[in-house]
Chains A and B, each alone.
Chain A
Protein backbone atom coordinates (compact mmCIF):
# COMPACT_ATOMS: atom_id res chain seq x y z
CA UNK A 1 0.00 0.00 0.00
CA UNK A 2 1.13 3.54 -0.64
CA UNK A 3 0.29 6.85 0.95
CA UNK A 4 -2.00 7.63 -1.93
CA UNK A 5 -4.32 4.65 -1.56
CA UNK A 6 -7.80 5.84 -0.87
CA UNK A 7 -10.47 3.27 -0.48
CA UNK A 8 -13.59 2.36 1.38
CA UNK A 9 -12.65 2.45 5.06
CA UNK A 10 -11.48 -0.84 6.54
CA UNK A 11 -13.47 -1.50 9.70
CA UNK A 12 -11.70 -3.51 12.41
CA UNK A 13 -13.34 -6.74 13.40
CA UNK A 14 -14.30 -6.47 17.08
CA UNK A 15 -15.94 -9.88 16.95
CA UNK A 16 -19.44 -8.52 17.59
CA UNK A 17 -20.97 -10.71 14.93
CA UNK A 18 -19.16 -13.87 15.97
CA UNK A 19 -21.20 -16.16 18.07
CA UNK A 20 -18.04 -17.11 19.91
CA UNK A 21 -18.46 -19.16 23.04
CA UNK A 22 -14.82 -18.88 23.99
CA UNK A 23 -14.48 -19.39 27.69
CA UNK A 24 -11.44 -19.39 29.95
CA UNK A 25 -10.97 -20.79 33.47
CA UNK A 26 -8.11 -20.09 35.82
CA UNK A 27 -7.36 -22.30 38.80
CA UNK A 28 -5.53 -20.38 41.52
CA UNK A 29 -3.82 -22.83 43.86
CA UNK A 30 -1.11 -20.61 45.35
CA UNK A 31 -1.24 -17.98 48.05
CA UNK A 32 2.12 -16.30 47.47
CA UNK A 33 1.93 -12.71 46.29
CA UNK A 34 3.89 -13.37 43.10
CA UNK A 35 1.70 -16.37 42.26
CA UNK A 36 -1.50 -14.39 42.76
CA UNK A 37 -0.91 -12.04 39.87
CA UNK A 38 -0.56 -14.20 36.72
CA UNK A 39 -4.20 -15.32 36.74
CA UNK A 40 -5.47 -11.87 37.67
CA UNK A 41 -3.61 -10.14 34.86
CA UNK A 42 -4.61 -12.72 32.25
CA UNK A 43 -8.22 -12.73 33.46
CA UNK A 44 -8.25 -8.95 33.11
CA UNK A 45 -7.02 -9.30 29.54
CA UNK A 46 -9.57 -11.99 28.74
CA UNK A 47 -12.48 -9.94 30.09
CA UNK A 48 -11.30 -6.93 28.09
CA UNK A 49 -11.60 -9.09 24.98
CA UNK A 50 -15.15 -10.07 25.85
CA UNK A 51 -14.23 -13.64 26.85
CA UNK A 52 -16.29 -15.41 29.53
CA UNK A 53 -13.92 -15.77 32.49
CA UNK A 54 -14.02 -17.95 35.61
CA UNK A 55 -11.51 -18.17 38.45
CA UNK A 56 -11.53 -21.14 40.84
CA UNK A 57 -9.64 -20.72 44.12
CA UNK A 58 -8.35 -23.85 45.79
CA UNK A 59 -5.85 -24.87 48.47
CA UNK A 60 -3.33 -22.08 49.14
CA UNK A 61 -5.12 -20.01 46.55
CA UNK A 62 -7.89 -19.59 49.15
CA UNK A 63 -5.68 -16.93 50.73
CA UNK A 64 -6.47 -14.75 47.73
CA UNK A 65 -10.17 -14.65 48.65
CA UNK A 66 -9.96 -15.01 52.43
CA UNK A 67 -10.69 -11.63 54.07
CA UNK A 68 -8.11 -12.40 56.75
CA UNK A 69 -5.26 -12.91 54.30
CA UNK A 70 -6.04 -11.19 50.98
CA UNK A 71 -4.36 -7.93 51.99
CA UNK A 72 -1.42 -9.71 53.55
CA UNK A 73 -0.09 -12.01 50.81
CA UNK A 74 3.66 -12.36 50.91
CA UNK A 75 6.51 -12.91 48.54
CA UNK A 76 9.54 -14.93 49.59
CA UNK A 77 12.81 -15.36 47.70
CA UNK A 78 13.25 -18.78 49.37
CA UNK A 79 13.29 -21.54 46.79
CA UNK A 80 13.13 -19.06 43.93
CA UNK A 81 16.30 -19.60 41.91
CA UNK A 82 15.35 -16.77 39.55
CA UNK A 83 15.45 -14.14 42.31
CA UNK A 84 17.87 -11.36 41.42
CA UNK A 85 19.73 -9.00 43.70
CA UNK A 86 17.76 -5.76 44.19
CA UNK A 87 17.88 -3.12 41.43
CA UNK A 88 20.22 -0.15 41.77
CA UNK A 89 23.30 -2.19 42.71
CA UNK A 90 25.02 -1.90 39.35
CA UNK A 91 26.47 -5.13 37.97
CA UNK A 92 25.49 -6.94 41.14
CA UNK A 93 21.80 -6.45 40.30
CA UNK A 94 22.20 -8.79 37.34
CA UNK A 95 23.29 -11.63 39.62
CA UNK A 96 21.01 -14.14 41.23
CA UNK A 97 20.55 -13.80 44.96
CA UNK A 98 22.30 -16.53 46.97
CA UNK A 99 19.59 -18.79 48.39
CA UNK A 100 20.91 -18.45 51.91
CA UNK A 101 20.10 -14.71 51.95
CA UNK A 102 16.44 -15.50 51.33
CA UNK A 103 16.18 -17.22 54.67
CA UNK A 104 17.51 -14.33 56.73
CA UNK A 105 15.08 -12.80 59.24
CA UNK A 106 13.07 -9.95 57.72
CA UNK A 107 13.87 -10.96 54.15
CA UNK A 108 10.30 -12.02 53.30
CA UNK A 109 8.94 -8.69 54.56
CA UNK A 110 11.50 -6.75 52.59
CA UNK A 111 10.98 -8.74 49.40
CA UNK A 112 7.20 -8.38 49.75
CA UNK A 113 7.49 -4.63 50.16
CA UNK A 114 9.73 -4.37 47.11
CA UNK A 115 7.45 -6.46 44.92
CA UNK A 116 4.37 -4.49 46.03
CA UNK A 117 6.12 -1.27 45.11
CA UNK A 118 7.13 -2.56 41.68
CA UNK A 119 3.54 -3.67 41.02
CA UNK A 120 2.14 -0.34 42.21
CA UNK A 121 4.62 1.55 40.02
CA UNK A 122 3.04 -0.17 37.01
CA UNK A 123 -0.34 1.08 38.26
CA UNK A 124 -1.49 -2.50 38.74
CA UNK A 125 -3.90 -2.75 41.69
CA UNK A 126 -3.37 -4.77 44.85
CA UNK A 127 -4.96 -8.23 44.93
CA UNK A 128 -8.23 -7.35 46.69
CA UNK A 129 -8.85 -4.29 44.53
CA UNK A 130 -7.93 -6.33 41.44
CA UNK A 131 -10.53 -8.97 42.35
CA UNK A 132 -13.16 -6.22 42.81
CA UNK A 133 -12.26 -4.87 39.39
CA UNK A 134 -12.46 -8.30 37.73
CA UNK A 135 -15.80 -8.98 39.36
CA UNK A 136 -17.06 -5.62 38.08
CA UNK A 137 -15.88 -6.59 34.60
CA UNK A 138 -17.95 -9.76 34.82
CA UNK A 139 -15.54 -12.43 36.10
CA UNK A 140 -17.04 -15.32 38.06
CA UNK A 141 -15.10 -16.16 41.22
CA UNK A 142 -15.54 -19.59 42.77
CA UNK A 143 -14.19 -20.96 46.05
CA UNK A 144 -13.35 -24.65 46.39
CA UNK A 145 -15.68 -26.48 48.80
CA UNK A 146 -13.06 -28.93 50.01
CA UNK A 147 -10.55 -26.17 50.76
CA UNK A 148 -13.19 -24.14 52.59
CA UNK A 149 -14.04 -27.18 54.73
CA UNK A 150 -10.43 -28.12 55.27
CA UNK A 151 -9.52 -24.62 56.47
CA UNK A 152 -12.65 -24.31 58.61
CA UNK A 153 -13.91 -21.28 56.69
CA UNK A 154 -17.46 -19.98 56.23
CA UNK A 155 -18.97 -17.93 53.41
CA UNK A 156 -18.63 -14.76 55.49
CA UNK A 157 -14.89 -15.33 55.82
CA UNK A 158 -14.54 -14.85 52.07
CA UNK A 159 -14.52 -11.54 50.22
CA UNK A 160 -17.91 -10.42 48.88
CA UNK A 161 -16.86 -10.80 45.25
CA UNK A 162 -16.80 -14.62 45.53
CA UNK A 163 -19.89 -15.85 43.69
CA UNK A 164 -20.23 -19.14 45.50
CA UNK A 165 -18.54 -22.07 47.20
CA UNK A 166 -18.69 -24.99 44.78
CA UNK A 167 -17.48 -28.55 44.64
CA UNK A 168 -15.38 -30.11 41.93
CA UNK A 169 -18.27 -31.59 40.00
CA UNK A 170 -19.98 -28.19 39.83
CA UNK A 171 -16.70 -26.71 38.62
CA UNK A 172 -16.53 -29.39 35.92
CA UNK A 173 -19.98 -28.33 34.72
CA UNK A 174 -19.04 -24.66 34.71
CA UNK A 175 -15.74 -25.22 32.92
CA UNK A 176 -17.13 -27.42 30.16
CA UNK A 177 -15.55 -26.41 26.87
CA UNK A 178 -13.30 -23.82 28.52
CA UNK A 179 -9.59 -23.27 28.14
CA UNK A 180 -8.02 -24.09 31.49
CA UNK A 181 -5.02 -22.44 33.07
CA UNK A 182 -3.62 -23.87 36.31
CA UNK A 183 -1.55 -21.55 38.46
Chain B
Protein backbone atom coordinates (compact mmCIF):
# COMPACT_ATOMS: atom_id res chain seq x y z
CA UNK B 1 0.00 0.00 0.00
CA UNK B 2 1.34 3.41 -0.87
CA UNK B 3 0.02 6.90 -0.87
CA UNK B 4 -0.10 9.58 -3.51
CA UNK B 5 -0.91 13.27 -3.46
CA UNK B 6 -3.88 13.98 -5.71
CA UNK B 7 -5.66 17.34 -5.83
CA UNK B 8 -3.53 18.45 -2.89
CA UNK B 9 -4.65 15.55 -0.71
CA UNK B 10 -2.65 12.56 0.40
CA UNK B 11 -4.61 9.40 -0.33
CA UNK B 12 -4.01 5.64 -0.27
CA UNK B 13 -3.66 3.98 -3.65
CA UNK B 14 -2.84 0.48 -4.91
CA UNK B 15 -0.10 -0.48 -7.36
CA UNK B 16 -2.24 0.42 -10.35
CA UNK B 17 -3.19 3.82 -8.95
CA UNK B 18 -6.75 3.02 -7.84
CA UNK B 19 -7.71 4.61 -4.52
CA UNK B 20 -8.23 2.10 -1.73
CA UNK B 21 -9.98 4.07 1.03
CA UNK B 22 -13.64 4.84 0.34
CA UNK B 23 -13.76 7.75 2.80
CA UNK B 24 -10.74 9.57 1.42
CA UNK B 25 -12.57 10.43 -1.80
CA UNK B 26 -14.21 13.75 -2.60
CA UNK B 27 -15.40 15.43 -5.80
CA UNK B 28 -12.21 17.44 -6.26
CA UNK B 29 -10.27 14.18 -6.24
CA UNK B 30 -12.74 12.67 -8.67
CA UNK B 31 -12.30 15.61 -11.02
CA UNK B 32 -8.51 15.32 -10.82
CA UNK B 33 -8.56 11.53 -11.35
CA UNK B 34 -10.81 12.05 -14.39
CA UNK B 35 -8.48 14.60 -15.90
CA UNK B 36 -5.51 12.26 -15.36
CA UNK B 37 -7.18 9.71 -17.64
CA UNK B 38 -8.17 12.22 -20.27
CA UNK B 39 -11.69 13.16 -19.17
CA UNK B 40 -11.23 16.90 -18.88
CA UNK B 41 -14.80 17.93 -18.26
CA UNK B 42 -17.01 16.18 -15.74
CA UNK B 43 -20.60 16.96 -16.73
CA UNK B 44 -23.69 16.31 -14.59
CA UNK B 45 -24.10 13.05 -16.50
CA UNK B 46 -20.58 11.96 -15.57
CA UNK B 47 -21.26 12.79 -11.92
CA UNK B 48 -24.58 10.94 -11.92
CA UNK B 49 -22.73 7.76 -12.88
CA UNK B 50 -19.93 8.32 -10.36
CA UNK B 51 -22.36 9.05 -7.52
CA UNK B 52 -24.36 5.94 -8.39
CA UNK B 53 -21.17 3.86 -8.23
CA UNK B 54 -20.32 5.24 -4.81
CA UNK B 55 -23.76 4.87 -3.27
CA UNK B 56 -24.13 1.35 -4.70
CA UNK B 57 -20.71 0.39 -3.37
CA UNK B 58 -21.67 1.70 0.08
CA UNK B 59 -24.69 -0.64 0.06
CA UNK B 60 -23.24 -3.69 -1.68
CA UNK B 61 -19.55 -3.49 -0.72
CA UNK B 62 -18.82 -4.21 -4.37
CA UNK B 63 -18.23 -1.98 -7.38
CA UNK B 64 -21.23 -2.26 -9.74
CA UNK B 65 -20.72 -3.72 -13.21
CA UNK B 66 -21.78 -1.87 -16.37
CA UNK B 67 -25.01 -3.80 -16.47
CA UNK B 68 -25.84 -2.86 -12.91
CA UNK B 69 -25.10 0.82 -13.60
CA UNK B 70 -27.55 0.71 -16.49
CA UNK B 71 -30.19 -1.53 -14.93
CA UNK B 72 -30.21 -0.21 -11.36
CA UNK B 73 -28.58 3.18 -11.90
CA UNK B 74 -30.70 3.92 -14.96
CA UNK B 75 -27.91 5.14 -17.22
CA UNK B 76 -27.97 3.39 -20.62
CA UNK B 77 -24.86 1.32 -21.38
CA UNK B 78 -24.43 3.11 -24.70
CA UNK B 79 -24.22 6.42 -22.86
CA UNK B 80 -21.59 5.05 -20.48
CA UNK B 81 -19.38 4.27 -23.48
CA UNK B 82 -19.81 7.88 -24.64
CA UNK B 83 -19.05 9.37 -21.22
CA UNK B 84 -16.14 7.06 -20.34
CA UNK B 85 -14.83 5.82 -23.71
CA UNK B 86 -13.49 2.31 -24.37
CA UNK B 87 -13.37 0.90 -20.83
CA UNK B 88 -16.24 2.54 -18.97
CA UNK B 89 -16.44 0.12 -16.03
CA UNK B 90 -12.80 0.49 -15.03
CA UNK B 91 -12.66 4.21 -15.74
CA UNK B 92 -15.73 4.92 -13.64
CA UNK B 93 -14.34 2.86 -10.77
CA UNK B 94 -11.05 4.75 -10.96
CA UNK B 95 -12.71 8.17 -10.90
CA UNK B 96 -15.08 7.10 -8.11
CA UNK B 97 -12.15 5.97 -5.95
CA UNK B 98 -13.36 2.35 -5.91
CA UNK B 99 -11.80 -1.02 -6.82
CA UNK B 100 -12.30 -2.39 -10.33
CA UNK B 101 -15.58 -4.31 -10.65
CA UNK B 102 -15.28 -8.05 -10.00
CA UNK B 103 -18.49 -9.26 -11.64
CA UNK B 104 -18.45 -10.67 -15.18
CA UNK B 105 -21.75 -9.21 -16.38
The stretch among A24-32, A41-49, A82-90, A160-168 that forms the contact with chain B is: A41-49
Size of B's binding interface in residues, CB under 8 A = 35
Q: Which residues of A contact B43 (CB under 8 A)?
A: none
Instruction: State which residues 78-104 of A face B: CB under 8 Å.
Output: none
Which of A15, A49, A133 has the largest number of chain B CB atoms within 10 A? A133
Instruction: State which residues 4-41 of A face B: CB under 8 Å.
Output: 4-12, 14-16, 41
Contact of B10 among A1, A6, A44 (CB under 8 A): A6
Does the CB pair A9–B6 fall under 8 Å? yes
Measured CB to CB, the closest approach of chain B to A80, in angstroms, equals: 22
Does the CB pair A15–B86 fall under 8 Å? yes
Does the CB pair A12–B66 fall under 8 Å? no
Contact of B89 among A1, A3, A48 (CB under 8 A): A48
Q: Which residues of A contact B71 (CB under 8 A)?
A: 123
Instruction: State which residues 100-155 of A face B: CB under 8 Å.
Output: 122-125, 133, 136-138
Is residue B31 within 8 Å, beta carbon to beta carbon, of the partner chain? no
Q: Which residues of A contact B94 (CB under 8 A)?
A: 12, 14
Is residue B48 within 8 Å, beta carbon to beta carbon, of the partner chain? no
Does the CB pair A9–B5 fall under 8 Å? yes
Does the CB pair B2–A1 fall under 8 Å? yes
Does the CB pair B4–A7 fall under 8 Å? yes
Q: Tell me the complex Cα distance, A63–B88, Å.
A: 31
Which of B16, B18, B104 has the largest number of chain A CB atoms within 10 A? B104
**Known pairs A5-B2, A11-B36, A41-B104; A136 contacts B67 (CB<8 A):** no
Q: Which residues of A contact B55 (CB under 8 A)?
A: none
Does the CB pair A50–B104 fall under 8 Å? no
Contact of B17 among A11, A44, A122, A138 (CB under 8 A): A11
Is residue B26 within 8 Å, beta carbon to beta carbon, of the partner chain? no
Q: Tell me the complex Cα distance, A41–B17, Å.
A: 28
Q: Tell me the complex Cα distance, A125–B68, Å.
A: 11
Does the CB pair B37–A49 fall under 8 Å? no
Does the CB pair B76–A136 fall under 8 Å? yes
Which of A11, A12, A133 has the largest number of chain B CB atoms within 10 A? A12
Does the CB pair B2–A14 fall under 8 Å? no
Which of A3, A9, A11, A123 has the largest number of chain B CB atoms within 10 A? A9
A4-B3, A125-B67 known; 9 other A-B pairs, CB under 8 Å? Answer: A5-B3, A6-B4, A9-B36, A50-B85, A50-B86, A123-B71, A136-B76, A137-B78, A138-B81
Residues of A in contact with B (beta carbons under 8 Å apart)? 1-12, 14-16, 41, 44-45, 48-50, 122-125, 133, 136-138
Residues of B in contact with A (beta carbons under 8 Å apart)? 1-6, 10, 12-13, 15-18, 36-38, 66-68, 70-71, 76-78, 81, 85-91, 94, 104-105
